[in-house]
Amino acid sequence: GDLLLAVRLLHEKTRGKTSAWAPYLAALPVDLSDSPVLWTATDVTELLVGVLMGDDALSLRRSIDSSFSLLSSVCFKTMPETFPPDIFTDEAFRWAVATILSRGIPSSSISGVDAALGLLLVPGLDCANHDDGVRLQFAAGAHGGVALVADRSYAAGDQVFTTYGPKSNAQMLLSMGFTRKDNRHPFNSADITLSLPPDDDLRSSKIAVLQQRGLAPSMRFRLPASESLLRRGLSISYPP
């Protein structure tokens, strides 16, 4: 769904001023250089050295490039009239994906909307900055729109904040291109990988026991920065 939205975003750009979304497209930032999605492999290696998120960034970049290659061979190159080659470039496709990751609102967070739709671009609401203290709600509005249900009173001229969810700094940087200043914020965490040694004499038996419990011989765990959360134990992030 997110990749199709990226294609739609670029397709609307081909329509120029005739697109019903032209004002919105014109307002989207062109420079997303803070997003690791647009960093080179050298940048990721140098800037995220020793951080597991560096592997995540490289993996995401490879996935995006692989998707573009597939779409290019199946659609873009075979239908250049519909997908102009000067617009549907690998760089533009990465920009579109980075735009969606940084501005998209999960459909699962919008009451009354199909959660399977994935990330949605909602003009206006996607301009709100993040605040961990906000407790607002999104709901399906009239005429296919989305309503923002505020958790406080706002005066004219006040900045309206939203929340991007309880994400760690690593997750924020990878998706949105920014981090909190407070590295000890309760939502922050560091991922560590624990693996069975390859020369373990009981490796086969241990793998069998782990598999019985739905675990793998190499697992990635999220280590929370909050001491109170850490006391509850590690949470499984995902296999490396």
| Structure-token pair, residue 218 | 């190499």
> What confidence tier does 131 reach under pLDDT thresholds 50, 70, 90?
confident
Q: What is the pLDDT of residues 161-187, one digit of tens each?
A: 888 888 888 888 989 998 888 877 778
**Greater confidence, 1 or 135?**
135
The alpha carbon of 18 is separated from its chain's Cα centroid by a whole number of angstroms, namely: 30
Q: Which of 120, 225, 128, 235 is nearest to 180 (CA)?
A: 225
Q: Which of 174, 204, 188, 195 is nearest to 240 (CA)?
A: 195
* Radius of gyration in angstroms for the set of CA atoms belonging to the chain, rounded to a whole number: 21
CA dist 187 → 39, 65, 146, 223, 229 (Å): 25, 30, 27, 10, 9
| pTM recorded for the entire structure | 0.80
Give the Cα separation of 53 and 57 in Å (integer): 6
What average pLDDT is seen over the chain? Answer: 86
Segment among 28-37, 98-107, 133-142, 193-202 with least mean pLDDT: 133-142
pLDDT at 146 over 90: no
Report the pLDDT value the prediction gives residue 230, as an integer from 0 to 100: 55
Q: For the chain, how long is the longest CA-to-CA vector?
A: 69
| Structure-token pair, residue 155 | 């005066």
Average pLDDT over residues 6-25: 94
Give 177-235 as a DSSP string. S---S-TT-TT-EEEEEEE--TT-TTHHHHHHHHHHTT--SEEEEEEESSHHHHTT--E
Report the pLDDT value the prediction gives residue 6, as an integer from 0 to 100: 94
115 CB contacts (<8 Å, ≥6 apart)?
Answer: 106, 107, 108
| Residue 217 burial (CB count, 10 A) | 17
Report the pLDDT value the prediction gives residue 108, as an integer from 0 to 100: 86
Give the Cα separation of 168 and 191 in Å (integer): 10
